[in-house]
Each structure stands twice: as C-alpha cells, then as structure tokens.
Amino acid sequence: MKSMEHSFIPSDEYVQHARDLHKNNIVFDSLAPGFIDEWLVTPSMREVGLEVQAKGGTRPAIKEAMARRLIEQCTQDNETRREYLDYWDRAGVTAGNYTLYASGPPDTAYEATLRAAQQAQQFAQLFNGELSVANTANEVEAAYKARHHVVMFNLQSAEPVGSDLDRVDKLHELGVRSMQLTYNLRTRFGDGCLETNDGGLSRFGEALIEKMNSTGIIVDLSHASAGTAKDAVAASRRPVIASHTAARNISGHRRGLWDEVLKGISDTGGYAGVVILPAFIVGANGNDNAERAGKPRSWATLDVVVDHILHLVNVMGTDHVGVGTDWGKPYYNALTWTPEMVKPQRGFNWIGWRPEDRFDPNAQTYGMETWDQWPNLTAALLQRGMPEDVVVKIIGGNYMRVLREFSQ
C-alpha cells in the first residue's frame, strides 16, 4: 500500500471523515487503557493522585487511589457519569479490551483477577446499560446499534491459571476472552519478550494453548518472546492474535514482533493490533518528526503509528491488522512521573522494564495524548491514502472477524 506525505496532525476535513466512519462502523480497540484507572481524570482524581505521589506511592498505588475516587464520584454524581460517557463518545469507540491482570507476584495472580473482574462489573453497572461488559461479538454489535459502549476482559499474563488448567474454564466463565501466555518475563508457559534467554514455549504452555483453543479463549502473543510466539503459532489450531504490538523490523524494540512472526499470525487467520506507546514504535535514536513538531524525541507522532500499520498490512494483508492503543492514559499527563515510580515499592520487579527498554511514562503520541483523540488516528490513516474500506477493517472490522469465530 502506497504511503503519502507524513503529517503531524490530520486536517479538519480528515478528522470529520474519521468521526463519520466511527459513527457508521464498529470501532474496537484490541487493547484499550484501563477503563477505570487509566481513563478520564477528574480534578478530584488528580488531587488524590498527587497526594499518594507526594507520599512516595508508585504507579499501582496511585492508580488504585484514583480509581476509587472515580468510582465514588460516578456512584454519587450524575455529572461525573455524564463526563465519563462523553469521554467514550469523543473517542467514537464501540468496544475495548480491558486488562484484568498484567503482572505481579504469581501466587496472587488469580485472586487479583477475581477482584478486578468484580470491580469492573460493579463499575459498569453504574451506567444503566450505556456501558457494559460483553462476552460475544453479538453483544458488541448490539451495543453499537444502541450507541452504547462495551469492554471485554483480557489477561496480559497466564499467571492466574497457575498450575491448574481447569481455571481456564473458570476464567472463561468470568468473561475472559483473550489471554497472553506471558507478560515481559518468563512464566511456566513460555518466555516473555524481556527475558534473558529465549527458550520459547514450554510443554505446559502447549497444553494451555490446547485448553484455550477448546474453551474459546483467544491466544494473545503481544508480550511473548520471538521463540514463544513462533512456537505458539505452530501449536494453535485456531487463530491467534497480538492485541497490541509493533513492527520490530521498524523500531527494533523487543516488544515488537518480527515480520516472520506477524506473517505466521496472519496464516492462522489471526490479527495484530498496533500499539501507540512511543518506546515500542520509535527507534532507539528517537523521532525526528516529534522534534520538528516541538516535542521530545522520545515522543511518537501519528505518522509513526501509521508507518507501523502500513508495514503490518504489507506483511499480513488488509484482513489481519488493527489498533490496540494501550496508551493515551490521562493520568500520565496529569502527574509527573519517573521510571522508578512505575516499579513496585518493594520486592522483585515483576513488570520487568530495564533502562535499555526506553519505557518512559511521560512520553506520549502527539495528536493522541489522550484516548479520546482516537479519531485523529483514523484520520491519519485516511490522510496517508488508505482506502476507506480498509480503514474500516483496521479500526474494528478485523478484530470483530476473529471475535465472531470465537463467539460461535
């Protein structure tokens, strides 16, 4: 697909075209920011976040405190509930995958997942059907027709399964519809993308994939090592996805996937969503366009995101690519962060970021600093010359295709 001239921010004409497409089609973010703790930030939420931060609190504590305040406000105040729904409406997004669990001590993963699911269900119930948790493609389609919004549950690590594959059934009953085998580090199922050595998929990982295939939970390879991803593609008899990834051939970052893995995913009938997190899509030397736009070189611009999408389309085909933003989190803009604040206050760093991984919570994507600016990305695709019918696939149609297969 031909690339047209780069542009930092799409023109008003293309943004309006994008909003029309969002209105007339299902838009599905295959890995959205957390819809409670990484979404809207009210002044009261910022205040409590600053209080926790001033006391030395790290990201988990700050997010938890801000989430509690949002829940309190939405429980008590119609105006806050309306402000929250307006945030969804500005994004023009029908559905997003919501992470119940990503990383942490393995022995507490299952209980943490249960607590997160309960909180998410209770929060959604505050909105009288305008926001709900979906389990099937039909429920997503019904929400779109009603002009409502939905979240679907995913896990960014299989640690909640533990040593008991019967938990896969329980997680499915809970509403989990996609699950990564690993986060950044090694699990009993396989190696993550930041592990020291890449041993690929374990035999127990093969058993987990077989169980997920039969249960109807989609295998997600977003944080997998190259070896684990290749092994998982070979082991699965159903489509696999990478809900939020990047082209490693462009950025060189270990959180991205090599072309051969991306092609393997598409050969299963699967899907890969492009992430907008700057560290993963911008090369180690930074982004010249960000600097020209008056932003730090560590920032990304929408043209970089589109570069990755076009690359994936060339490798995988137009039926297998989408968007899993994983970024545009307002609480990062509302507070000042240091890399140390992202780590746990004590104990082992189960998240796994190292200095060489360039993870910077202050870096944003220019033009999509917050998730409610989603139409700007759609507009950037249109402005770069992507045909409208392909854009419709990218912004939601391709993920819905895979979801329908698992909703039978």
pLDDT tens per residue across span 270-324:
999 999 999 999 999 999 999 999 999 999 999 999 999 999 999 999 999 999 9
Confidence of residue 340 (pLDDT cuts 50, 70, 90): confident
Specify which residues 179 forms β-bridges with: 155, 219
pLDDT tens per residue across span 223-268:
999 999 999 999 999 999 999 999 999 999 999 999 999 999 999 9
pLDDT at 408: 72
Query: Which tokens hold the place of 379?
Result: 């507009």
Closest to 29 in 3D by CA, of 308, 401, 395: 395
Query: Which tokens hold the place of 236?
Result: 């699965």
- What single-letter amino acid sits at 296? P
φ/ψ (deg, to 5) at 273: -100, 135
Q: How far apart are the first and last CA of the chain?
A: 33
The structural domains of the chain, ordered by start, are 12-406 (3.20.20.140)
pLDDT at residue 168 is higher than 60: yes
Question: CB-based contacts of 284: which residues, under 8 Å, 6+ apart?
Answer: 252, 358
Average pLDDT over residues 180-203: 97
Q: Which region among 160-164, 329-333, 375-379, 380-384 has the lowest average model confidence (pLDDT)?
A: 329-333
pLDDT at 345: 65
Closest to 35 in 3D by CA, of 369, 321, 328, 406: 328
Q: Which region among 12-26, 129-143, 242-256, 352-366 has the lowest average model confidence (pLDDT)?
A: 352-366
Asked whether 65 and 49 are in contact (CB, 8 A), the reply is: yes
pLDDT at residue 4 is higher than 70: no
Average pLDDT over residues 34-62: 92
Confidence of residue 400 (pLDDT cuts 50, 70, 90): very high
pLDDT at residue 162 is higher than 50: yes
pLDDT at residue 370 is higher than 80: yes
pLDDT at 343: 73
pLDDT at 7: 59
pTM of the model: 0.96
User: Mean pLDDT across the chain, nearest whole number?
Assistant: 95
pLDDT at 30: 98
Asked whether 329 and 36 are in contact (CB, 8 A), the reply is: no
